[in-house]
Amino acid sequence: MAKALHLLAPRFFPLWDLLIANVYGCRYSIKPAEKYVLFMRKTRHLAEQLIGEVPPQETGKSLLKLIDEYNYAKYTKKWVKS
């Protein structure tokens, strides 16, 4: 569901997978739609905290896209180390 929504409106619907969902406390094995809405709220809250800290992107990427890419790199691929 999340992937389909993301394809329809990528600037509004963030992507997730099981690893990302777990980090955000949104494990979706039960009530996945509710967990996705919770994930969206947490992502929006994070974006609101970062809005003054992250400079505008010359690439045209939205803050949501940057968060999405960070989540993928850190939690899914483990390319980013703490």
- Residue-wise pLDDT tens digits, 13-50: 888 999 999 999 999 999 999 999 999 999 999 999 99
Q: What pLDDT shows up at residue 14?
A: 86
- Residue 26 is predicted with a pLDDT of 96
Residue 25 structure tokens: 């406390």
Non-local CB neighbours of 69 within 8 Å, separated by 6+ positions: 61
Contact yes or no for 54/63 (Cβ under 8 A): yes
d(CA 59, CA 27): 32
pLDDT at 72: 95
Mean pLDDT of 68-82: 94
What pLDDT, on the 0 to 100 scale, is given for residue 59?
76
